[in-house]
Structure formats: structure tokens, C-alpha cells
């Protein structure tokens, strides 16, 4: 029935059947989530991707690795459903799968075997083995055909499948296989088939599609609007936070420019109103900056949908623009209602509504601008810098920093294309054409009487034509349309930014080629088990430790591992025998329960306040035993592992967990355990060897027992581990970002394991170490895991769809059913016999077929459908079984400490001292920063561009001050230069800190370091880069603006600029540390940009700030920056300047009595600027230590 629904029903009715087919009905109302936000499981995310494709009318599907993260039973069900879609709906599906189980492989009609870019076989699945048998190769018993096909073309794996032992083996290359296939019957048939042109007369009239998209434009718009509205509701915190911060800024601004303090008597009063209007313009312009990061985060999904022809770009942009208009209206109304009358603007109703219209248009223009920048730049860091550049350009040429008549001729064109020009002129004309300004008259220095409003417009170089209100409004509307059209066109025609992959030399690539793993190498259970009988019988950990006090990693005496060594690596170099001692430890747990708060989407259907994910889980993990933690997707495997490893950050945990009989203490447990996460989180800008050295130096103590662990020993140990996980040939390759650059998925998996192994742990948890790998790559990883276990360590792995070889490499199995209940816990036995016998003993369970994968069979016979058919609960059956009683007795025995043992104890919380942690973190930060050109080069380039742009706009303005207006322009130039470079430093550092924070959460949970040394190291790392930045910035600005060339003045300019850039950078880091994600950090930072600007002394001089707000002026860092720049350059100048409406004054007198700046106060300004940098850096470190936004 579900398949029929997919084939026959309209697209909008196929979603629920698709959910049922994919097993997503149980989480249909749960958000997807990401690394920082709890959502559906990894396997369920993969199925969502598949579901997106099959719900439509598509007849041709290309499906790449859809089984990654899924259990073999679920994969089989999905592929079987797709097979029916092909056969019943006459669809065409081409699918690539990793580690397909035999029963899944047999569902395919045809296969294409591709190796080294050449087709080795293409044709019916039934005849593929015949082809290779004709070439002299045979697939052995209990070997999956798919695994055989992947290995038979590999030079390192081929020999084991040579069929005729009477004849000497000869390697057959991929090219030779390809040539043999062309001469084979099926190859000849394929050639003949392709040589005959297709008869077009046989085509159905519906074979050609004349519409680009599946549904009508009306339906696309409806669905797109519904989705956008849903996202807005789900992201309501973003919009509420944004509105609240605007309300707060509006209230503060209203009490700063309070109407009782605002007068309309003279030009000086008019300049205060000008400042209020400029602040209104700037705040609402900056308010749109948040659209930039929000748009960037949505681009990956948009590009996927666009390329799959879900909808055209304008269908995406129209709802995006339209549905934000109501929020803009609310924000605009709130701003104008709060500020208009409290600030004392003209009390005329028509001017109130005109200002409301202008502020709304400014917000729409700003939102359109930043959306367009995001679509053009397509990268968070580049977009942040690009947004700052556009703001700088429009801000500098907006007419309020440098009036139009003072702008150099070579920048006049820039004045006319700045949207702020139109907003500024319209706002000022609307205010100063009011009756109260036009009824008053002033006399200029020539004795000519003018209306005060006209004099203000002329004094600020504003157009005096009152029609400029409508010209400005029309200009803003035009820019809004232009930017949104540019946004749409960019999305329609630009592709995602390509990223380079890690480059590896041909020689290294050959050496690092995946190593084959024959079945015997991982599944010779009798040999392995004979070597570990004492451990299985519950012998003392002390005895185990004496058995392997200095066991070399991977140097097992078992024949199976010896064969792995001989087959897996084609080198004859001797291996060093150095290792570090460790204490084998067991873990047991009893009645473990885990709850989370009921998701909001599910509260409508249930009455419980909590959702239980684990139910009474009991079991044990022992040294030298490799335990598989399995279950269908969503059964709670990762959840159980997180609970046992102490990685859960939320929820409610019940139960008893013990380590070698003693209650688990998370602080000490982190020192002796390792956790290989599924997501393979690593710093992208370090090499493999550097990653391991970093982990080893932080996690290995200075002494283990009586053995001193020197730095040389740690390095040797790192080299040993690299050799063990077979990454020694790639040790100088950068890690990179997953799916973008650097290591492949399989290499990242091995790196994740290696990072934990260098910590010399006794207990290791591995979350899906083979997920996303093909059979050969999975075999390499499993050899690494097997070698680790054979050192006497306790290893637990969650695993999906293992092949027979990999599954039978495990010693024990803990099987969970959906709902987090145990249905089997015990040994696998030779050829999985013990597990199979347990399930076959259950009445009604079908017997396993010959050559059938026990892992797949086990999941099939214990599925929900099987429980319904048998009318039984496998969890209840297990709890009444003899196996459960045996396991319970084992848990009880392991819960008691063995005689002569003591609880885990470490004299310090971390392996290294605070200084040691700081040095290691500083080393990694140095490498990361040095190899991050998209961060450092971009911000350096921005600073260079800013210096050249402002220097050319304000050319020599500092050396030609003849009147007070020119001095205001100089103050505006200094304020603008520092503010924009500082804001760019703040915004560009946020993505870097955000990316590294994800790595920080993993490393801190592993007990590598305290938050303080990590944070201080990152803070220190910024100092030399900001020093270089401030140096060339000061040199360029100082020379081009024409300030006085004295050593003292130049030094003070550099000093103030340097510490201003530094505190802005640390402020950006701090905003990330107090925010759950980068988007909220950007909004939070933008809110305080507005307050920094308001109290900087530029919009309203300190002497005119109301006394109830003067305290904030003194804690505003930008105010101290402007103070320092002005008094160091002009605080001692006695040159005379003209002041409108007043007698001539000296420059020093004017800045003292008009702005409140005193030269002698510089002795206070300098240390305060240093303190601001220290304060923000300290707050970053403190918040990183105290706050955690990771939800697990």
C-alpha cells in the first residue's frame, strides 16, 4: 500500500507513506537538528534526504550512499521499496551503496563495477561472479558478493581469491579486467545494444517534459510561503530577540536625546537633532546585518533544492522577502513610536508618518542589501567582510560624515550610489521643514538673516528642496527592489563556492591505498577467544595487567592478527616495540534510564512531561572484549553510549554505572576513557601528526606508574599509533573540513580513533566507526579496532549494516530495540552461533538462511513488525531468559571491587599543568591561525582597503582645519575608520571561534584541558596579528589624512588604534561564548554596536548627554577610543578656527568646551583602553568555562 501511494497519489499526499516506508513516522514531528541542537539521529537524517527524492514524480533517481548511518535491516527495506517503485512504476534508479549486505545486493537487477575510473563490469547481477570466475577468481563461502567485488580488483586483496591453486597467481590489473569484459558475452551484448540508435517512434508522448518544475507556479508559491512561515515560527527566538534588542536601543536613545533636553534655538541645537536622525538611520541600517548570517546558513539547502529543480530562485526569495515585511513593520513602528515624540521631533502628524515610512524603507533596503551580499559571497567569513565593506563605502559617502561639497571629485559618483544619501537627506528635510524650524531666523557671519531650518540644511550641505523627502523615499524603494533582484539573480546563476581538496602526491597515494581485510583475518573466533579465556571468565584486572604490562599496540599473538599484518601492509620495515602501560578496566551498568523533556511537537499527542529514550538497560563491557552495540536506527545506541561516557549535556539519567566495581566519577573517568564521535570533529587547519601530538601532549601524564613519560616517548607513541591506524603515510596531510577539503571520510574515521588512542585509554567508545565507508575502508578501520582490543583494552562500538566479516570480528553483542530496551546481550560465538541459537529458540522466529548475514537476520527477526506478528515483546522475553540471569550475575560480580584494587585516583584533574595546557593550546592556535588565510588575509585585506578608501575620501583633511565643521569631519573620519575596522574584526572572528568551539566541546569533554588555558591561548594568539594590522593601518591613515608627523602623536594614534582593534576582536569572541550559535552572536554584537555608536561622543557630545546616561558614556569603549584619538592629535593645538554663531576659538579650547575632551586626561584613557581589551578577553574565557550550548 505505501508503495502504491507513492506511485499513484499526488505529491502532497505521499509524504506520510514515504515516512512509513523510511521508518520516519516515529520522528515525523521532530526537528532535524545539527551538531549543536538535539534532533533526529544520524541515520534518520540520511533517510530524510532519501525521502525528499522519492515523494516527487521523478522517474529517474541517482542515489549516492543512501545507506550511510542505517542498519542493514532498514537499508534492505528501503531498497526493496525502491525496487518495487522501479518495477511497478517503470522508474530508473542508479544507486551507489557502501557495505551492502548480500540480501540487499540481491535486490538489484544490474550492477556497474567501477574501479580506478574504468568500468570492470556492467550487466545483470546474476552473471557477475561467472565473469570473474572466467578470469580465474572465486568468491569464497560466507563472503558477500559485494565485498568480493570491491576487493578482487585491488592489488593488495586480489591474490586470496585466486581460484586455481595449481597455477601460479598472476595479478590482473583493472585495465586488463576492463578489456576482458569488453570481449565477454555480456560486454559484447552491451556494445551491440549501444550501437543501435533508439527508435524515437517507440517513445511515449509523455516521455518529454516541457515544464521545468513538477507543479504549477501557484502551488510552488503556496508551498514555499508555508515552509518559510514554518521556519520563521521555528526560528521565532531570532526575530523576538532582534525586536527586543531594537526596543531596548530605542528606549535608551529616547532617554539620551530626551525632548526636555532638546531645544530649537540655534544651530548647535540643530546639530543635536542631526545626530539623533543619523543615529536612527545607522541603527536601522545595522539592523539588517543579521540577514547576512541567516541567509548564509540557508544557502546549502537552497542550492540542493535549486539544482534538483524543486523551484526557481525567485520562489525562494519572494516568501523570504514578503514574510519578513510584517516583522519590519513591527520593528519600524516600535522604533518610531518610542523615539519620535520622546526625542522631541516635530510634533506634526504628517511628519511622524513620513518618518515612519522612511525608517521602514531603510530597513527594507538594508535587509535586501545584506541578502544580496550573502548570495554573492556565499561564505560566512567572506560575506561578513563584504558586508562590512559595503557598509563602510555607503557610510563614508552617505553625506553626514563628509558633506557632498567636501567629497573629492574622484569620489563624487560614490555619493550618488550610496543609499544612505537618500535616507539621510529625506529624514533631515522632513524634520527641518517643520514650522518650528522655519519660523525662527538666524544671522550668518555675513549678517544675512535666514530661516533656522534652511540654515541647518545649508550648514550640513543638505539639499534645501523639500521635494527631497519624496526623492529620498523613491531612491530607497529603488535600492530595495534592486538589491532583492540582485539577491534573486545571484541565487539563480551563482553556484556554491568550490573548495580545494587536500593534495596528496601520487607516491603517497599509492602507499596509502586502502588495505584489504580477508574474512579469516577478522573472524577467526576460536583463535582469538583461546587467547583471552581468563578475561572472559572474569579474571582479575590485575592479572590482565600483568599479562600485558608493556603490550605493544596491535602486536597480538593470535594467528588472525598476524595474517592481518602480513596481508594489510606491504612493507618489511621492522616495527618498534615501545608502548605505554595501562590498567585494564571493566565497566558495568544496571537499570540505566534516560529521559528528555517532551518535545513541543509531541506534547499535542501525549500527556507525559518526559520522553524516555533508554529503559532499564543492564550490561557490562570487559577488557580484551570487542562489544558491538547495535539496533535499528533510532533505537538509542548513541544515546546509551553518551550516557555511559558522561557526554550528555541535558536530560535526566538514572541507574548505576561502575568502573571495575567502583562508582563512576566523570572527572577521573575522562582520564582513562576515549570517545570516538560519529561526526569526526577535528580542527581543520592542522595535520594528522599535529592532531595526534596535540592530543598526546595534553592527555598523557608525565608519569605512568614508575615510568617517566618524556616528550620523546610521547612522540614515539604518536608514531606507533599512526602506524597502527595506517595513517603514517598521510601524517603531513591537513585534516580539512568534512566533505569540503582534506581527508576522506575513511581517513577521518581512523584519525578520530587515533586521537583517542594516543591518550592511552583503558576504555574506548566508538560511535559508528565504519559509517560512511565502503567495505574495504571499513575493514581497515575494523583492523585498527581489533588491534586496539587485543592490547587488553575495553572497546565498545555502535555499528550499522556490518558485513559478515566485520560483524563476526566482534566478541559480544548488546542489541537494543526501538525505545531503548535490551533484547540481547551476550557472546556472538563462532560464526555468530550463540546469538543465532538464542533467537532461533524463540517460538515463531524463522531459521537463518545459508550465507545470510547474521546481523541483518537478527534485526529482521526482532523488528517491530516481527513483534506484532509473533504477538510478543523481545525485551520482555530477554528479561525472563537464562541469558539475562547470567548477565545479571556477571554485572553483580563486576559491581564488586576485586581484592587488592583501589578506586581510580589522580592527584590533578588534568594530565598537564595549567602552563602545559596553555602551551599546547597556543601551539595549535598558532597553526590554525597561520593556515587560515580566509580569516587573516581577508581581515588584513579589509583593513588595507578601509585605510586606502578612507584616506582617499578624507584626503589631507587633518592638516587643513579652518572651522568647526571641518573639525567635526575629522572626528567623523577617525570615528568611522576605527569603528569599521573594529566591527569587521568582531564579525570575522566569530565564525572562527564558532567552528573551533565545536572542537573545544569535544576536547573539554575528553578531559584534555580546562577552558581557561584554551581561551587565554586563543586570546594571546590574536595579539601579534592585530599588531600587524594596526601597524600598517596607522601608517596609511596617518599619512593620507595628513595628521602631524611627530613621534608622540604617531605613537598615540597607533596605541589607541591597536587596543581598539584588540578589544573589538575580543568582544566578538565574547559574543560567541555567550550565544548558542553564530547567528545569535551576530545579532547580540550588532545590538551593542548601536549603543557603542550612540555613546561614542560623535552623535551627541559628552557635554550634551543627560546626566542619567553619562555613566554609560564612561563604560562605552568606543567613546574612550574617540576621546584618545582626538586629544592626542588636537588637544594641544592653539590654532584658531571659526565657529558658526560664535567668535573664533582655538582648537584646544573648542574640543574642551564643546566635546569635553581634556589633553591631561590621556593618562587615564590609555590604561582604560588596555582594561577594555583585558575585560572582554576575561569575559570570553569565563563564559567559555561556565556556559555550554551543546545539547546532547
Does residue 540 carry a pLDDT above 50?
no
Grid cell 507525559 is found at: 608
Mapped onto helix, strand or coil, the DSSP state of residue 169 is coil
Kindly report the CATH class assigned to 585-671+760-893. Answer: alpha beta
> Worst-scoring range by mean pLDDT, 208-217, 265-274, 380-389, 756-765?
208-217
Residue 121 has pLDDT above 90, yes or no: yes
- Categorize the per-residue pLDDT at 1096 as very low, low, confident or very high, splitting at 50, 70 and 90: confident
256 versus 419: which is more confidently predicted? 419
Residue 886: all three cell numbers together: 547470567
Average pLDDT, the chain: 82
Band the pLDDT of 8: cuts 50, 70, 90.
very low
pLDDT above 70 for 855 = yes
Question: Residue 574's pLDDT is what?
Answer: 42
Q: How much is the pLDDT for 849?
A: 86
**What DSSP line would sit under 1046-1068, residue for residue?**
-HHHHHHHHHHHHHHHHHHHHHH
Across 161-165, 646-650, 1141-1145, least confident range: 1141-1145
Q: What is the DSSP letter of 632?
A: S
Q: In this predicted model, what pLDDT tens digit does every residue of 913-971 receive, in sequence order?
A: 999 999 999 999 999 889 888 788 888 998 999 899 888 988 888 777 777 778 888 88
The count of other CB atoms within 10 Å of the CB of residue 382 is 18
The count of other CB atoms within 10 Å of the CB of residue 214 is: 15
C-alpha cell at 226: 508555508
Lowest mean pLDDT among 249-258, 609-618, 656-665, 957-966: 957-966
Quote the DSSP letter at residue 687.
B
Residue bearing cell 570491491 = 150
What distances in angstroms separate CA 70 from CA 631, 772, 1150, one per listed residue?
A: 10, 10, 74
Dihedral angle of Cα 951, 954, 959, 965, to the nearest 10 degrees: -160
Interatomic CA distance for residues 322 and 332, integer angstroms: 15
pLDDT (0 to 100) of residue 455:
80
Q: Which of 411, 278, 392, 415 is nearest to 979 (CA)?
A: 392
pLDDT at 511 over 50: no
Looking at residue 356, its pLDDT comes to 94
Q: Please report, for residues 283, 431, 814, 945, the alpha-carbon distance to residue 878 in angstroms, rounded to integers and kept in the order given.
A: 65, 81, 12, 70
Its pTM stands at 0.75
Annotate 508-551 with DSSP letters as a single string: HHHHTSPPP--HHHHH-HHHHHHTTHHHHTT--HHHHHHHSTTP
Per-residue pLDDT of 681-725, as tens digits, reads: 888 889 999 999 999 999 888 877 777 888 888 998 999 888 877
* Whole-number Å distance between alpha carbons of 774 and 996: 29
DSSP helix/strand/coil, 600 = coil
pLDDT tens figures, 450-493? 787 788 787 777 888 888 899 999 999 999 999 999 999 999 99
Domain boundaries along the sequence of the chain: 1-51, 52-192, 233-491, 585-671+760-893, 934-1125+1164-1184
d(CA 1045, CA 100) in angstroms, rounded, equals 74
What CA–CA distance (Å, rounded) separates 840 from 837?
5
Percent of the chain clearing pLDDT 70 (strictly above): 88
CA distances from 1183 to 891, 1074, 1179, 1187 (A): 41, 6, 6, 5
Tell me which residue has cell 563490469.
Answer: 121
Residue 1097 φ/ψ region, left for φ over 0, alpha for ψ in the -120 to 50 degree band, beta for the rest:
left
Nearest CA-CA partner of 993 in 1014, 1012, 1023, 1024: 1014
Q: Which of 428, 387, 384, 392 is nearest to 411 (CA)?
A: 392
Amino acid at each position: 500500500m505505501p508503495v502504491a501511494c507513492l506511485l499513484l497519489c499526488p505529491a502532497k499526499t505521499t509524504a506520510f507513506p514515504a515516512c512509513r516506508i523510511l521508518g520516519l513516522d516515529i520522528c515525523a514531528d521532530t526537528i532535524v537538528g545539527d551538531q549543536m541542537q538535539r534532533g533526529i539521529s544520524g541515520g534518520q537524517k540520511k533517510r530524510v534526504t532519501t525521502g525528499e527524492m522519492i515523494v516527487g514524480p521523478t522517474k529517474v533517481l541517482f542515489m549516492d550512499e543512501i545507506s550511510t548511518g542505517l542498519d542493514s535491516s532498514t537499508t534492505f527495506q528501503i531498497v526493496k521499496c525502491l525496487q518495487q517503485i522501479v518495477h511497478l512504476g517503470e522508474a530508473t534508479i542508479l544507486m551507489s551503496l557502501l557495505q551492502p549486505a548480500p540480501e540487499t545486493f540481491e535486490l538489484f537487477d544490474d550492477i556497474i563495477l567501477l574501479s580506478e575510473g574504468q568500468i570492470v563490469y556492467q550487466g545483470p547481477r546474476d552473471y557477475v561472479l561467472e565473469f570473474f570466475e572466467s578470469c580465474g577468481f572465486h568468491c569464497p563461502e560466507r563472503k558477500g558478493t559485494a565485498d568480493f567485488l570491491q576487493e578482487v580488483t585491488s592489488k593488495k586483496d586480489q591474490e586470496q581469491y585466486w581460484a586455481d591453486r595449481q597455477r601460479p597467481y598472476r595479478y590482473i590489473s583493472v585495465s586488463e579486467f576492463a578489456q576482458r569484459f569488453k570481449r565477454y558475452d555480456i560486454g559484447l551484448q552491451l556494445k551491440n545494444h549501444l550501437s543501435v540508435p533508439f527508435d524515437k517512434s517507440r517513445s511515449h508522448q509523455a516521455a518529454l517534459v516541457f515544464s521545468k518544475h513538477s507543479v504549477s507556479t501557484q502551488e510552488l508559491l503556496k508551498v514555499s510561503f508555508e515552509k518559510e512561515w514554518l521556519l520563521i515560527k521555528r526560528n521565532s527566538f531570532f526575530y523576538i530577540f532582534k525586536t527586543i534588542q531594537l526596543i531596548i536601543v530605542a528606549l535608551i536613545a529616547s532617554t539620551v536625546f530626551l525632548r526636555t533636553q532638546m531645544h530649537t534655538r540655534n544651530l548647535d541645537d540643530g546639530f543635536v537633532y542631526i545626530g539623533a536622525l543619523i543615529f536612527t538611520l545607522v541603527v536601522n541600517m545595522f539592523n539588517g546585518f543579521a540577514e547576512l548570517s541567516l541567509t548564509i546558513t540557508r544557502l546549502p539547502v537552497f542550492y540542493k533544492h535549486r539544482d534538483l529543480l524543486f523551484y526557481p530562485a525567485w520562489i525562494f526569495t519572494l516568501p523570504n522577502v514578503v514574510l519578513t515585511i510584517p516583522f519590519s513593520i513591527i520593528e519600524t513602528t516600535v522604533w518610531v513610536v518610542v523615539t519620535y515624540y520622546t526625542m522631541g521631533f516635530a510634533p506634526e502628524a504628517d511628519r511622524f508618518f513620513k518618518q515612519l515610512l522612511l525608517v521602514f524603507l531603510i530597513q527594507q533596503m538594508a535587509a535586501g542589501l545584506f541578502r544580496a551580499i550573502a548570495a554573492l559571497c556565499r561564505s560566512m567569513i567572506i560575506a561578513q567582510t563584504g558586508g562590512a565593506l559595503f557598509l563602510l563605502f555607503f557610510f563614508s559617502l552617505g553625506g553626514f560624515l563628509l558633506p557632498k561639497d567636501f567629497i573629492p571629485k574622484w569620489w563624487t559618483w560614490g555619493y550618488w550610489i550610496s543609499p544612505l544619501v537618500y535616507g539621510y537627506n529625506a529624514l533631515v528635510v522632513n524634520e527641518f521643514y517643520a514650522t518650528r524650524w522655519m519660523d525662527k531666523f538666524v544671522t550668518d557671519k555675513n549678517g544675512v538673516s535666514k530661516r533656522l531650518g534652511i540654515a541647518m540644511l545649508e550648514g550640513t550641505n543638505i539639499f534645501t528642496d523639500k521635494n527631497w523627502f519624496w526623492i529620498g523615499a523613491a531612491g530607497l524603494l529603488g535600492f530595495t527592489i534592486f538589491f532583492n533582484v540582485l539577491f534573486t539573480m545571484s541565487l539563480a546563476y551563482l553556484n556554491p563556492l568550490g573548495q580545494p581538496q587536500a593534495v596528496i602526491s601520487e607516491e603517497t597515494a599509492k602507499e596509502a591505498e586502502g588495505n584489504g581485510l580477508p574474512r579469516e583475518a577478522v573472524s577467526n573466533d576460536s583463535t582469538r577467544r583461546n587467547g583471552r579465556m581468563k578475561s572472559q571468565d572474569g579474571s582479575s584486572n590485575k592479572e590482565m595487567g600483568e599479562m600485558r604490562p608493556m603490550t605493544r599496540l596491535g602486536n597480538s599473538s593470535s594467528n588472525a592478527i598476524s595474517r592481518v599484518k602480513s596481508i594489510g601492509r606491504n612493507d618489511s620495515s621492522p616495527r618498534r616495540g615501545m608502548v605505554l602501560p595501562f590498567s585494564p578496566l571493566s565497566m558495568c551498568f544496571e537499570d540505566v534510564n534516560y529521559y528528555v523533556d517532551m518535545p513541543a511537537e509531541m506534547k499535542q499527542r501525549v500527556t507525559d512531561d518526559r520522553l524516555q529514550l533508554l529503559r532499564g538497560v543492564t550490561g557490562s563491557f570487559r577488557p580484551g572484549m570487542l562489544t558491538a552495540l547495535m539496533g535499528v536506527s533510532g533505537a538509542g545506541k548513541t544515546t546509551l553510549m553518551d550516557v555511559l561516557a558522561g557526554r550528555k549535556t541535558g536530560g535526566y539519567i538514572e541507574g548505576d554505572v561502575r568502573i571495575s566495581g567502583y562508582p563512576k566519577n566523570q572527572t577521573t573517568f575522562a582520564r582513562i576513557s576515549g570517545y570516538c564521535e560519529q561526526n569526526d570533529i577535528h580542527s581543520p587547519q592542522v595535520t594528522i601528526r599535529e592532531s595526534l601530538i596535540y592530543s598526546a601532549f595534553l592527555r598523557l601524564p608525565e608519569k605512568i606508574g614508575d615510568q617517566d613519560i618524556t616528550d620523546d616517548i610521547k612522540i614515539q607513541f604518536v608514531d606507533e599509533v599512526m602506524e597502527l591506524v595506517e595513517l603514517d603515510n598521510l601524517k603531513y596531510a591537513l585534516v580539512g573540513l568534512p566533505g569540503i577539503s582534506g581527508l576522506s571520510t575513511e581517513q577521518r574515521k581512523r584519525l578520530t580513533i587515533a586521537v583517542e588512542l594516543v591518550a592511552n585509554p583503558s576504555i574506548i567508545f566508538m560511535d559508528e566507526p565504519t559509517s560512511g565507508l565502503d567495505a574495504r575502508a571499513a575493514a581497515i578501520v575494523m583492523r585498527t579496532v581489533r588491534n586496539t582490543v587485543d592490547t587488553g583494552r575495553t572497546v565498545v562500538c555502535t555499528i550499522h549494516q556490518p558485513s559478515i566479516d566485520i560483524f563476526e570480528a566482534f566478541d559480544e553483542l548488546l542489541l537494543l530495540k526501538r525505545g531503548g530496551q535490551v533484547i540481547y546481550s551476550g557472546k556472538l560465538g563462532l560464526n555468530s552461533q550463540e546469538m543465532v541459537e538464542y533467537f532461533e529458540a524463540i517460538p515463531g522466529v524463522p531459521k537463518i538462511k545459508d550465507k545470510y548475514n547474521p546481523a541483518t537476520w537478527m534485526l529482521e527477526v526482532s523488528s517491530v513488525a516481527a513483534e506484532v506478528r509473533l504477538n510478543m515483546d523481545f525485551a520482555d522475553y530477554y528479561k525472563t531468559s537464562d541469558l539475562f540471569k547470567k548477565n545479571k550475575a556477571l554485572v553483580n560480580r563486576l559491581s564488586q571491587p576485586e581484592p587488592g584494587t583501589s578506586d581510580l585516583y589522580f592527584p590533578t584533574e588534568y594530565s598537564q599543568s595549567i602552563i602545559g595546557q596553555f602551551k599546547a593550546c597556543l601551539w595549535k592556535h598558532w597553526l590554525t591561525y597561520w593556515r587560515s588565510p580566509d580569516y587573516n588575509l581577508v581581515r588584513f585585506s579589509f583593513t588595507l582597503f578601509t585605510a586606502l578608501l578612507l584616506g582617499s575620501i578624507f584626503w589631507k583633511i587633518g592638516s587643513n582645519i579652518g572651522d568647526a565643521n571641518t573639525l567635526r569631519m575629522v572626528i567623523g573620519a577617525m570615528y568611522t575608520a576605527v569603528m569599521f575596522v573594529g566591527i569587521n574584526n568582531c564579525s570575522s572572528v566569530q565564525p572562527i571561534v564558532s567552528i573551533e568551539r565545536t572542537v573545544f566541546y569535544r576536547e573539554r569533554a575528553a578531559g584534555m584541558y580546562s577552558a581557561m588555558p584554551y581561551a587565554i591561548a586563543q586570546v594571546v594568539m590574536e595579539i601579534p596579528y592585530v599588531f600587524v594590522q594596526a601597524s600598517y593601518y596607522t601608517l596609511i591613515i596617518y599619512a593620507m589624512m595628513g595628521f602631524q608627523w611627530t613621534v608622540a602623536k604617531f605613537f598615540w594614534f597607533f596605541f589607541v588604534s591597536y587596543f581598539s582593534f584588540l578589544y573589538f576582536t575580543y568582544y566578538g569572541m565574547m559574543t560567541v561564548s555567550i550565544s548558542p550559535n553564530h547567528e545569535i552572536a551576530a545579532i547580540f554584537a550588532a545590538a551593542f554596536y548601536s549603543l557603542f555608536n550612540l555613546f561614542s561622543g560623535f552623535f551627541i557630545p559628552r557635554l550634551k548627554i543627560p546626566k542619567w546616561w553619562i555613566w554609560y558614556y564612561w563604560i562605552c569603549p568606543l567613546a574612550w577610543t574617540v576621546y584618545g584619538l582626538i586629544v592626542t592629535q588636537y588637544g594641544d593645538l592653539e590654532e584658531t578656527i571659526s565657529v558658526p554663531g560664535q567668535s573664533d576659538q582655538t582648537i584646544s579650547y573648542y574640543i574642551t568646551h564643546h566635546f569635553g575632551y581634556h589633553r591631561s586626561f590621556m593618562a587615564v584613557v590609555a590604561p582604560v583602553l588596555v582594561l577594555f581589551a583585558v575585560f572582554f578577553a576575561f569575559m570570553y574565557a569565563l563564559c567559555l568555562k561556565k556556559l555550554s550550548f551543546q545539547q546532547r
